[in-house]
Amino acid sequence: MFPNTPFLPAGACALAACLALGGCDGGAHAGPPASSSSPTSASSSSPPSSAGLVRDGGAIFVPAASPLRARLEVRAVAETPLRRPIPVPGEIEADPARLVRIVPPLPGRIARLHVALGDAVRAGDALLTLDSAELSAARGEAGKARAAREQARLELERQRALLDAEIAARKDFEQARLAYAQASSDADTAAARLAQLGAGGGAPSQRQYTMRAPLAGRVIALDAAPGGYWNDTAAPVMTVADLSTVYLAANVPEKDIGAVFAGQPAQIAFNAYPGAAVTGQVRYVGEILDADTRTVKVRVAIDNREGRYRPGMYATVVLAGAAHPALLVPPAALLQGGLETRVLVETAPFRFAPRVVATGAQAGGMVEILSGLEAGERIVVKNGVLLHD
């Protein structure tokens, strides 16, 4: 049939067919297996790391095998009564009702000082003695007024007797009566002047005038010395003050006036005694707003029987505002991102969503949340920064 083709056995024909196809291996096939996958598809389907986080959009999930679960602390937010603190600077002042500047009522030479700076005095104790010529003149005028009154009295009695005997005219009696009234008024005025000076009685030649303490306290200022002449009756020789109670005068800003009231408790920290805060009570809230500083003066009474607090000291007072319900969180729960403050809210077990919040006052180591959270929501209060990118 094919005369030019040599005859081949059947086995040789099969071998030639295999060689023509490129080889024969009993089930082997050319090229890679159809079922093999690319490296990219293999990595996308691999499970997440057991120590990492799973982020789904803005949500964060902590896998069960992650060690972060043991480090996170989640707590529900609850409403708590809060007194908004109002910190303001202040300065210690003496009680104006218990501070007296001793001003001599008349000029004279200081003959003696009975006290020294810092001495404690009681009401009525002698403070200083003046040698004053004006005191002698005042005593002399008082003596003349008394003598003139006595003379006018005798003249009035004589004119009354003459009038009764119909010897003198009624006009003379009336003149004597008016003269007596005038002399009595002059004598009373001179006596009142001496009484005001505290120098009633004494001989007209008495020049010594002793000034006495009007209240119990301590001499906190002294500007005179024995032998000096004091002729300025508007300048104090010394100052006596009762400092058993002092006041902290603080200027409260206009925006906080509504939260300040008499009887309000206050915590006071002194620059001179760091770490030793004392408690006080608002005694007075000013009635007038300072137009320049837009503040109102508040006075806080402080017990100072030990004498630790001196007028002029600087301090900081924290006034406790009226109590109101507030959501409080620890500072560690707040995460700062740019200009926004966030917290991590638990939406499901170990699934969290960041939320922007507005913060308010700080009190007792906690921070007030003004908006962004509701009571009862659970948030991360510790180690939330580990979830924050």
**Residue-wise pLDDT tens digits, 245-264:** 999 999 999 988 888 999 88
CB within 8 Å of 305: residues ≥ 6 apart: 244
Query: What are the pLDDT digits (tens) for 5-27?
Result: 333 334 433 333 333 333 334 33
**Based on the domain organization, do 318 and 332 belong to the same domain?**
no
Within-domain flag for 37: no
Question: What are the C-alpha distances in Å from 310 to residues 245, 268, 297, 367?
Answer: 10, 14, 19, 35
pLDDT band at 276 (very low <50, low <70, confident <90, very high): confident
Say if residue 162's pLDDT is above 60: yes
- H-type helices in 165-225, by residue range? 170-197
* C-alpha distances out from residue 162 to 148, 150, 317, Å: 21, 19, 81
Q: Give the chain's domain count.
A: 4
For range 107-131, the mean pLDDT: 92
**Average pLDDT over every residue of 141-158:** 91
Same domain for 231 and 118, yes or no, is: yes
Inform me whether the pLDDT recorded for 352 exceeds 50: yes
Examine the domain organization and report whether 105 and 223 are in the same domain.
yes
Note whether residue 75 is domain-resident: yes
| Whether residue 248 is found in the same domain as residue 302 | yes
Q: What pLDDT sits at residue 132?
A: 86
Query: What confidence category does residue 356 fall into, taking pLDDT thresholds of 50, 70 and 90?
Result: very high
**Which structural domain range is residue 215 located in?**
100-132+211-240
**182 and 108 in a common domain:** no
- Picking from 161, 188, 206, the residue at the C-terminal end of a domain is 206
Question: Which residue type, as a one-letter code, is found at position 170?
Answer: R
The answer to whether residues 279 and 382 belong to one domain is no
CATH number, residue 267: 2.40.30.170
Per-residue model confidence as pLDDT tens digits over 39-78: 333 333 334 443 467 888 788 898 888 888 888 999 999 9
Residue 227 maps to a domain:
yes
What residue spans of the chain are helical by DSSP H? 10-20, 39-44, 68-71, 133-164, 170-197
Q: Are 118 and 218 contained in the same domain? A: yes
Percentage of residues in the chain having pLDDT higher than 90: 45
Residues 311 and 254 in one domain: yes
Q: What angle do CA 71, 74, 75 make, to 5 degrees?
A: 145
Of 137 and 226, the structure prediction assigns the larger pLDDT to 226
Taking the alpha carbons of 295, 297, 302, 308 in that order, is the dihedral positive or negative?
positive
Mean pLDDT, the chain, rounded, equals 82
- The mean per-residue pLDDT over the stretch 185-204 comes to 78
Q: Is the dihedral of CA 169, 172, 174, 180 positive or negative?
A: negative
Residue 191, in any domain of the structure = yes
Q: Tell whether 20 is covered by a domain.
A: no
Quickly state the pLDDT bin for 203 (edges 50, 70, 90). Answer: low
User: Is 248 within a domain?
Assistant: yes
At residue 287, the 3 state secondary structure works out as coil
pTM for the model stands at: 0.57
In-domain check, residue 46: no
The average pLDDT across 330-346 equals 91
Is residue 367 a part of any domain in this protein?
Answer: yes
